[in-house]
Amino acid sequence: MSTPGPDADPRHPLIEQLGAYARLMRLDRPIGNWLLLWPALWALWLAGEGRPDPHVFTVIVLGVLVMRAAGCVINDFADRGLDGHVWRTRDRPLATGAVTPAEALVLFAGLGLIAIGLVLTLNPLTRWLAVIGALLTVVYPFTKRFIHTPQFVLGLAFGWAVPMAFAAQLGEVPRLAWLTYCSVILWAVVYDTMYAMADRDDDIRMGMKSTAILFGDADRAMLTALQVLLLLVLALVGHNAGLGGWYLSGIGAAAAFALWQHWLIREREPRACFRAFLNNNFFGAAIFAGIMLDYTFRLPPG
């Protein structure tokens, strides 16, 4: 019996295929999970006044992770003819042929069924909101072909866990939820514009649309204005929630990360812009830390 040579690939074909599915769902790129999870955690802590319901917490967090994976799958399905021409995406499984379009759709459907199973354990209002969230997830990947602000649609989709978390916790979606949702939309436009700045030349060449292209040479000025507005809305969120010094410290830390991001994008170098995008993980963490610490160390009434 012959033995494999030193250059033989020891990986089983099934393991290779499962790895391709994992990469299609971006399980190897957790940044997207965090950018979706931070707003959901903000909302859970705000709605629960520092003590979110354990079942609601579990379902919302798992739902966010599942829908992020589903969103990545449908995004790559929509972009399967484009990703091979972009330096940052040319190794994606659909672009390389490691996963077929039919397999991607089956995977997307399976993830959707898991999400449905999760949301059915919550109240009727949250279930109806989940339908809207699913539609936003499907629509977003196609918007970059038709409108100049797909980042806004991304914000609508990425932030939808906020009203869902409030609905699941309280049975309603109060003004505080919508204020928080507005902050998430602004934040998504900011970080996804940085992401789009890394791909701007490729997007122009392929006829795609983005806020990075729309803003042109005013991109850094527009990002500054959007981040200032974002911080003001977050301050208004804290005011409406009755949060104090710990939360304001979180906003201060987030503002410091925003300044660092502007330093990174100063030359508009693609890889530096991508680093600025990644740094938004710390921005979201700073806001959550402020919320959590404020509720943790809040003095009892009386």
> 8-17, pLDDT tens digit by residue?
445 677 888 8
pLDDT at 40: 97
Alpha helices in the chain (DSSP H): 13-24, 31-47, 54-78, 93-96, 101-119, 124-143, 150-158, 161-170, 175-198, 200-206, 211-215, 219-241, 245-264, 270-296
pLDDT value at position 1?
Answer: 41
In the block, which residue shows the tokens 């997307």? Answer: 108
CB atoms within 10 A of CB 204: 13
Whether this prediction's pTM lies above 0.75 is answered by: yes
Residues above pLDDT 70, as percent of the chain: 93
What's the rounded Cα separation, in Å, for the pair 210 and 146?
Answer: 10
Q: Given a cut of 90, is residue 144 above it in pLDDT?
A: no
Average pLDDT, the chain: 90
Q: Return the DSSP state at 1.
A: -
What integer pLDDT is reported at residue 282 of this predicted model?
Answer: 97
Residue 120 identity: L
pLDDT digits (tens, 9 = 90+) for 190-248: 999 999 998 888 778 777 888 989 999 999 999 999 999 999 999 999 999 999 999 99
Dist CA 197 CA 128 (whole Å): 35
CATH superfamily of 22-295: UbiA prenyltransferase (1.10.357.140)
Cβ 206 vs Cβ 260: under 8 Å: no
